[in-house]
């Protein structure tokens, strides 16, 4: 490798400094120092050696700078600095390349570099002038036509770009890259008929390329000639049923026509190829299943996609998660659980599998199994706090609050960040609140906020529980105002703010915020509806209050809570009627 680099160095020197190594260039011992131009050569030679052989770009840059101080007309030094990126800003790179080219305007390498640096600096008009000159000097170089056409497009002269590409076609015949560029320009200038003609010519000249048929199909689609488009897609797939570009174009075509059966069929073929990465396949599947209605309507096809991925990548954690999520969405919770349990035997172990098993078992209210898999997770990942924290969650869910607090406190020894410490102390506070230990709850929340003052979940819960006890309402309002300032119109947090304002007697303000919370809520939260009903009742809007109370009942509120409110209202009405009658 060093020998090749040394040879390259010598060749560069011979090209850039002809005559530098003749007998006249020798320096006998004891003579005077070389003139500046020769000193510049020596410095530049040393710079190339450092750059190409020793890979020391810093020293190479210093030596090139010294060479230029000795001889400011040393064009190769400017070129070397520019071409190797030995400068600090794009503008400096342009200046270095300009100087090299200015000293030798016949050197095509200098000209190309100058043009490239202008492009990198977004100076497309100036770059166009350089490449047009290169095109005149080198009319047999196809790439010059491509770059000139691209620059015309950048400066919004598409018809000049098309003329340039036509010139290239006359000289070289059809070059695939230039033909593709020409089609895109014809589409951009709304010359669809000419674009179709171009594509048809490509198909006629090379009929056994699937890509050409797919291009023609796409252009027919843009013209609204769907039957011709589908025929060309069929021909492309007859030639190569696994061509990824054809399949991707077909999928886009079907999606634009809302032909979702066709879209899913094309996606199935795409998933059968290795042209896309697993991450890209997962992304596409998630995109297709993001709409619940679409998921339900095309469940059979989507299930086929999930099965295809599971068969093709049975041990990939991303696909295991995807397939399990699909089973859960299908209502097959036990099958998803069985899948995760099967993979807990994988080695090396995957933490997410144990966590998923514990979460599902917890949901199914199987505490013994939860503890079993949490214990396995702790054994396999002893320095990880997650399983210890989850043990606290599971115990709290099972209403074993003392054990839950103990588990949370144990997890603190394994927590590495203040933000997570804040979360754990917040969980301890929640457990104390569920156990009815308000003082301990608030003390835990205070400790949580010392670690992370902007923990919105803790701030919200702390404020709401203070409002429930009608204590420190101004402090509660300050906290929840901070929460709503940190978040983007979260209905739960707006509900807390409205409820505290209601408790403070600022009922009109509470109504305004509660209206916003109800409008943004997509879950039909019965708690929000109950609170809104209470606020309306306090404002004397009895009819609307009862409507929202009954909505809350329909959405899962405790019947006793709704009945109690209606009963209080009736008692108040009776008392009022009695007082009126007495008068």
User: For the segment 489-507, what is each residue's pLDDT rounded down to a tens digit?
Assistant: 899 999 999 999 999 999 9
CB atoms within 10 A of CB 37: 14
Nearest alpha carbon to residue 97 among 121, 119, 81, 74:
81
- Domain for residue 67, yes or no? no
Mean pLDDT of all residues belonging to the chain: 87
Residues 6+ apart with CB under 8 A from 338: none
- Domain for residue 176, yes or no? no
Per residue in 227-252, is it b (16+ CB within 10 Å) or e — as a string?
ebbbebbebbbebbeebeebbbbbbe
CA neighbours closer than 13 Å in the CB half-sphere of residue 440: 13
User: For the segment 381-435, what is each residue's pLDDT rounded down to a tens digit?
Assistant: 999 899 999 999 999 999 999 999 999 999 999 999 999 999 999 999 999 999 9
Q: What is the CATH classification number for the domain harbouring 258?
A: 1.25.40.10
Q: How far is CA 263 from the centre of its chain?
A: 23
What pLDDT shows up at residue 580? 66
Q: How confident is the model at residue 327 (pLDDT cuts 50, 70, 90)?
A: very high
Between these two residues, 13 and 95, which has the higher pLDDT value? 95
pLDDT over 50 (residue 147): yes
Structural domains of the chain, count: 1
Nearest alpha carbon to residue 506 among 493, 519, 497, 494:
497
CA neighbours closer than 13 Å in the CB half-sphere of residue 153: 18
- Domain for residue 259, yes or no? yes
- Domain for residue 304, yes or no? no
Q: How confident is the model at residue 15 (pLDDT cuts 50, 70, 90)?
A: very low
CB atoms within 10 A of CB 55: 9
Residues 6+ apart with CB under 8 A from 502: 510, 531, 534, 535, 538
Question: Angle at the Cα of 292 (from 291 to 295), degrees rounded to 5?
Answer: 90
- Domain for residue 252, yes or no? yes
Q: What's the residue count for the chain?
A: 583
Stretch among 67-71, 85-89, 174-178, 446-450 having the lowest mean pLDDT:
174-178
User: For the segment 221-277, what is each residue's pLDDT rounded down to a tens digit?
Assistant: 888 898 998 998 899 999 998 889 899 999 999 999 999 999 999 999 999 999 899
pTM reported for the whole predicted model? 0.65
Where do the DSSP E strands lie in 173-279? none
Q: How confident is the model at residue 581 (pLDDT cuts 50, 70, 90)?
A: low
CB 79 within 8 A of CB 73: no
- Domain for residue 224, yes or no? yes
- Domain for residue 449, yes or no? no
Tell me which residue range forms the domain holding 235.
Answer: 191-276
What pLDDT shows up at residue 578? 65
Give 364's DSSP letter.
T
User: For the segment 517-544, what is each residue's pLDDT rounded down to a tens digit?
Assistant: 999 988 889 999 999 999 998 998 988 9
CB 241 within 8 A of CB 267: no
What is the crossing angle of helices 192-205 and 210-223, to 10°?
160
What pLDDT shows up at residue 202? 80
Mean pLDDT of the region 468-487: 90
- Domain for residue 20, yes or no? no
Nearest alpha carbon to residue 512 among 527, 502, 503, 525:
502
């Amino acid at each position: 490798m060093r020998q090749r680099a040394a040879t390259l160095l010598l060749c560069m020197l011979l090209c850039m400094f002809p005559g530098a190594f003749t007998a006249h260039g020798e320096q006998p011992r004891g003579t005077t120092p070389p003139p500046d131009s020769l000193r510049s050569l020596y410095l530049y030679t040393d710079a190339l050696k450092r750059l190409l052989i020793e890979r020391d770009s810093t020293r190479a840059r210093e030596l090139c700078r010294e060479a230029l101080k000795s001889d400011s007309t040393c064009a190769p030094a400017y070129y070397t600095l520019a071409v190797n990126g030995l400068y600090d800003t794009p503008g400096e790179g342009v200046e270095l390349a300009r100087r090299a080219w200015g000293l030798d305007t016949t050197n095509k390498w200098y000209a190309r570099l100058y043009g490239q640096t202008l492009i990198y600096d977004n100076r497309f008009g100036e770059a166009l002038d350089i490449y047009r000159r290169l095109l005149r000097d080198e009319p047999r170089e196809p790439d010059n036509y491509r770059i000139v056409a691209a620059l015309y497009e950048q400066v919004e002269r598409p018809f000049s770009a098309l003329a340039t590409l036509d010139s290239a076609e006359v000289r070289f015949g059809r070059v695939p890259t230039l033909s593709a560029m020409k089609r895109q320009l014809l589409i951009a200038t709304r010359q669809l008929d000419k674009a179709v003609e171009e594509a048809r010519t490509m198909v006629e000249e090379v009929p056994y390329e699937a890509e050409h048929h797919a291009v023609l199909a796409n252009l027919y689609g843009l013209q609204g000639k769907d039957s011709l488009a589908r025929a060309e897609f069929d021909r492309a797939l007859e030639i190569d049923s696994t061509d990824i570009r054809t399949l991707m174009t077909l999928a886009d075509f079907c999606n634009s026509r809302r032909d979702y059966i066709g879209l899913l069929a094309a996606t199935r073929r795409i998933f059968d190829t290795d042209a896309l990465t697993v991450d890209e396949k997962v992304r596409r599947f998630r995109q297709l299943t993001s709409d619940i209605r679409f998921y339900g309507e095309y469940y059979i096809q989507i299930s086929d996609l999930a099965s295809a991925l599971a068969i093709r990548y049975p041990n990939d954690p991303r696909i295991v998660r995807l397939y399990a999520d699909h089973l859960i969405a299908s209502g097959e919770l036990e099958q998803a659980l069985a899948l995760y349990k099967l993979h807990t035997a994988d080695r090396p172990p995957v933490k997410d599998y144990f966590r998923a098993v514990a979460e599902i078992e917890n949901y199914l209210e199987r505490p013994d199994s939860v503890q079993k898999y949490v214990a396995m997770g702790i054994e396999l990942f002893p320095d990880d706090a997650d399983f210890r924290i989850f043990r606290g969650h599971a115990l709290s869910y099972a209403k074993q609050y003392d054990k839950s607090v103990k588990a949370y406190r144990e997890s603190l020894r394994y927590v590495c960040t203040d933000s997570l410490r804040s979360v754990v102390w917040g969980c301890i506070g929640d457990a104390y609140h569920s156990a009815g230990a308000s003082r301990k709850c608030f003390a835990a929340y205070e400790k949580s906020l010392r670690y992370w003052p902007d923990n919105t979940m803790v701030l919200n819960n702390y404020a709401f529980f203070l409002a429930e006890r009608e204590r420190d309402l101004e402090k509660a309002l300050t906290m929840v105002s901070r929460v709503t300032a940190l978040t983007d119109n979260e209905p739960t947090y707006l509900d807390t703010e409205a409820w505290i304002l209601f408790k403070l007697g600022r009922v009109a303000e509470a109504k305004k915020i509660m209206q916003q919370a109800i409008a943004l809520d997509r879950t039909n939260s019965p708690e929000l509806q109950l609170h809104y009903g209470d606020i309306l009742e306090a404002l004397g809007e009895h009819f609307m209050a009862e409507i929202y109370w009954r909505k809350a009942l329909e959405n899962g509120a405790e019947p006793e809570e709704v009945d109690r409110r209606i009963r209080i209202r009736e008692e108040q009405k009776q008392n009022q009627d009695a007082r009126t009658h007495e008068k």
